[in-house]
Structure 1
């Protein structure tokens, strides 16, 4: 499995959860935090994917 793929997928799921919770007024702070953490994971995972794009396994 490519390095960086798991954090990217996990970050996408966390971001989507945060967006879904954002509509409920009771959870706005938690939703904003989840969106931030999710986006951070997406960015860091994407950096890993790009950084290791040209390296061969072995």
Structure 2
């Protein structure tokens, strides 16, 4: 499995959860979205950095 793939997929799931939370708890939802987006960015950096 490529390095960086797990954080990217996890970040996608966390971001989707945050978007779902925005309706009921807007502040918490946006915080979760930001946390998920950070995982996506860091995972993408790992994916690009460790290309063969």
| TM-score, scaled to structure 2 | 0.94
In structure 2, the partner of 1:51 is: 49
The RMSD of aligned alpha carbons is 0.6
Unaligned 5+ segments in structure 1 are none
In structure 1, the partner of 2:18 is: 18
Length, aligned pairs only: 52
**4+ residue segments displaced more than 3 Å:** none
In structure 1, the partner of 2:4 is: 4
| TM-score, scaled to structure 1 | 0.85
In structure 2, the partner of 1:40 is: 38
Q: Deviation string for 1:31-58 (max 9, x for gaps)?
A: 011000000000000000010012xxxx
